[in-house]
Each structure stands twice: as C-alpha cells, then as structure tokens.
Amino acid sequence: MKVLVINAGSSSIKYQFFTMATERVIAKGLVERIGEPQGRVVQEVDGQKREHRLPIANHSAAFQVIVRELMEGESPVIKSKDEIEAVGHRVVHGGEAFKASVRITEAVLKAIRARVPLAPLHNPPNLSGIEAAQALLPDVPHVAVFDTAFHQEMPPTAFMYALPYELYEQDRIRRYGFHGTSHAYVSRRAAAMLGRLVEHFRCITCHLGNGCSMAAVRDGHSVDTSMGLTPLEGLVMGTRSGDLDPAITFHLASVKGLDLGEINSILNRESGLLGLSGLSNDMRSVTEAAAGGHARAKLALDVFAYRIKKYIGSYLAVLGGAEAIVFTGGIGENNGAMRAAATTGLEELGVKIDAEKNAKARGEADVSAADSRVKILVVPTNEELVIARDTAEIAGK
Ligand code: ADP
C-alpha cells in the first residue's frame, strides 16, 4: 500500500509519501507560504531536492500542488493520483474523543471541529488540510492521527487541574498533552533497543525540538506529560515559557496594563530560549553565543536543562523508577551537551551518562555508563512513520 502523510499548518503543509511494504519514504516535501504572493515548494526524491516558487492561494491549492509534484516533478513517483491509496493526517487536538487513530468520517470531522476552542492555532489548518485532501482524493480512506491520543490513558490524578470541578465538566479544562506520536514511537523503540517488551517497561521520554515536552510512560501508555490544556505548559521551549506562576498573567495586566493578546504573545512567542537569551529561539545559536561568553545565552541553557532535570526527578517518582530516559527531537537527538546537563547530578538516582558515548552518539544510541541503572538513550523520532503505519492499518480494515 502507498500512503501519503500530511501535516498541515496555518501557512505550510509537510508531506511524506510511503510505500508500506518496505516502509520506505518515496518522496517528501514541504509547501510553504500558503496565502502569500509567492509560495514555495520543495520536494526530495532519493536525496535529490528540487525547489520552485509559485503563488499558492490556500490549502486546497497546496494539496493540488503536492499531488502534481508527485506526478509531474522532475522525478515523478506516481503516474496517476489513484496510486495514493490512503492519506494519513496529523491532527493536533482530539480532546477526550479519541484514544487512537481513526478513519475520518463526517462525525470525526465534527468532533475535530468541536475541539477548535482547545487548539485555535492548530486544529483549523489541520481541518483545512483534511478537507483539501478529501476533495481531491474522495475515494480513498483518510485517517486522523492525534497528538493527544497517546496521553488519553493518563489517570485523573495526572490530568486534573485543581480548579473548580465544573470547569472540567462544562469546558473540558484538563491536561491533554501533545507530541503523543513521538512519545509513543520513541518509547517503543527504546524498549526494543533494550530487548524489553513495551508492555512491561517504564521510561521517561524527552521530546526536545522547537516545542518541548516530556512523558512518563508505563507499560506502553503515557501516565503523565508536561504539556497541558495547550502546548504552553511544562518545559522551556524555543519561544514558549513553559511552567510559570499563573498569577504572572494578572500581574502583567494590572501592573503593566497589557491585554490578553499581548500577554499571550509574550508567553507563546517571546519567551523560552528567545526571551531569556534575547538572541534566538534556536538552540544552535544560543549554544554558540554561550560558548562565546554571552551570559544570558548561558543562563537560557541552564534554565532549559534545569527544567528537564526537575521533570526527570518528578517522573522517576511518578513511575517509581524507570528503565530508561529517552532523548529525541532536534535538540534531544543532536545536542549531547544538553543531554549531559539534564542528567548530570542524578547519579544517586541511578542515572549516569557516559561522556564519550554521549559525545559520539549518532542515530539510535545508548549513551549511559555501563553501571547506570537507568539507561540513557537517544532515539531519532519518526512521527510520519507512525502516522503511515496507523493509516495503512486502518485503511486495510
Ligand atoms: P520542530 O519542533 O519544529 O520539529 P526540531 O525537532 O527540528 O523542531 O528541533 C529544532 C531545534 O533543534 C532547534 O533549537 C535547533 O537548534 C535544534 N537542532 C536541530 N538540529 C541540530 C543539530 N544538528 N545540532 C544541534 N541542535 C540542533
């Protein structure tokens, strides 16, 4: 079966086209600057990248561009759109309605639409992507894979905020968690790497990218996670603050006279690595500046690592010990210094990193010292593969 995986954002669509027999990516690409006067398309086939520019009015036009690229690009990978046998869609917020991936029906679309208030930035473009794809490929199965699904087994003790209970009953205000596809994938890979069954395995997964989140995973299910009602809670991120005293928002309003939009922008777009360093949201830039003696860049790295360490400690307590701590995402996979900073000092808790292995790690790697009770692993994430697998399985039913 050949499966197209779609990740639709507000002004861009990322895609990967898989042949499931070998799980090989035949083509992948990005359509961006949708709605701007000049859009951009990049497609990669067999390591060869091709880029061109053209106006792309909306998601519907973008999806047509994707199918045309697959059919007519410099190295066409399909002869007709009929070769796309199923489409998998990343959907950020499934609320409490979805514990697993599902085939998209009218009822599923309605349920995703109903969660727009919970994810106003993410669900609307996800919906646009689904509608565009269904319009062009009406006869194939479309499958929704939710960022929230893996966390839906969390117990109420972990997902309830200590707010008036009616806010949960009436407005569904609770912890949902995100990056679920990534946490699920790397926790399963980690168990496999250690020769363990995921059904009897406890680990702490750290997804550190532009957005960052951690999960405590027991026996194949997330039992706690750092992101909350929205992806703002938890770790320090590129531009997001992560955890803070909620009263800071009232303080910003009353003392500085800021309105809700301005406060939202500070917490989501001007904080994190960018806010602390004053330089950049990008870990590489902040790391370079810190190495050159920039004090605030150094502070940003320290706060970032300290927050991860606090969550490791808390999730070791939640799980009553763990077999592994797993790092993934652009930072988790590539930044050994950050892995070391986040785990150093936890030796008494059985966590001991091997400096040499950690510095050399490429791809999947065990970077823990031989006598570390808790293994420290690096696992490159592959959310698209999980979406493709779920899609093929559901489409095949
Ligand atoms: P997203 O969450 O948008 O998918 P990524 O997972 O690619 O983002 O993570 C982006 C972050 O990873 C950035 O802070 C970037 O600096 C960092 N990063 C990516 N590649 C590397 C690398 N080779 N070395 C160090 N940091 C990297």
> Mind listing the domains of the chain with CATH numbers?
2-146 (3.30.420.40), 193-378 (3.30.420.40)
What is the mean pLDDT of the segment spanning 250-266?
Answer: 97
Name the residue of 280, 283, 327, 379 to mutate for ligand 1: max ligand atoms within 8 A of Cβ: 283
Higher pLDDT, 234 or 121: 234
Q: Is the CB of 209 under 6 A from ligand 1?
A: yes
Q: Is 60 in the pocket of ligand 1 (CB under 6 A)?
A: no
Q: Closest ligand 1 atom, CA of 329?
A: 6
Ligand 1 close to Cβ of residue 335 (< 6 A) = yes
Long-range contact pairs involving 55-62 (C-beta distance under 8 Å, separation at least 24): 56/31, 58/34, 58/128, 58/132, 59/8, 59/13, 59/34, 59/125, 59/128, 59/129, 59/131, 59/132, 60/128, 60/131, 60/132, 60/135, 60/136, 61/34, 62/13, 62/31, 62/34, 62/132
Interacting residues of 336 by C-beta distance below 8 A, sequence separation 6+ = 358, 359, 361, 367
C-alpha–C-alpha distance, residues 379 and 193, integer Å = 9
Q: SS3 helix, strand, coil % of the chain, rounded to 5?
A: 45, 20, 35
Give yes or no: 147 in active site: yes
pLDDT for the residue numbered 70: 94
Is residue 306 very low, low, confident or very high in pLDDT (cuts 50, 70, 90)? Answer: very high
Q: Is the pLDDT of residue 332 over 80?
A: yes
Write down the pTM of the prediction.
Answer: 0.94
CA of 368 to the centre of ligand 1 (A): 22
The residue whose C-alpha atom lies closest to atom 12 belonging to ligand 1 is 330
Residue among 50, 56, 21, 14 nearest 35 (CA): 56
Q: ∠ CA 45-46-50 to the nearest 5 degrees?
A: 40
- What per-residue confidence (pLDDT) applies to 76? 87
Please tell me the distance between residue 335's alpha carbon and the centre of ligand 1 in angstroms: 9
**Average of per-residue pLDDT across 127-153:** 97
Mean pLDDT of 12-16: 96
Average pLDDT over residues 16-22: 97
Cα radius of gyration (the chain): 21
Q: What is the pLDDT of residues 359-397, one digit of tens each?
A: 999 999 999 999 999 999 999 999 999 999 999 999 998
| pLDDT average, residue stretch 176-183 | 97
CA of 339 to the centre of ligand 1 (A): 14
Mean pLDDT for the stretch of residues 152-179: 97
Query: Has residue 73 got a pLDDT over 80?
Result: no
* % of the chain exceeding 90 in pLDDT: 96
Say if ligand 1 is within 6 A of residue 211 CB.
yes
Q: What's the rounded mean pLDDT across residues 202-221?
A: 97
Which member of 139, 147, 224, 302 is catalytic? 147
Tokens, residue 205: 């997964």
What was the pLDDT predicted at 120? 85
Label residue 79 exposed, middle or buried (CB < 10 Å: 0-12, 13-18, 19+). exposed
Split at pLDDT 50, 70, 90, the class of 257 is: very high
How far is the centre of ligand 1, averaged over its atoms, from the C-alpha of 209 (Å)?
5
Mean local confidence (pLDDT), 111-123: 90
Give nearest CA residue, ligand 1 atom 7: 330
Which atom in ligand 1 lies closest to the alpha carbon of residue 331?
12
Question: Is residue 282 lining ligand 1, measured as CB closer than 6 Å?
Answer: yes
Residue given tokens 């009232």 in the structure block: 250
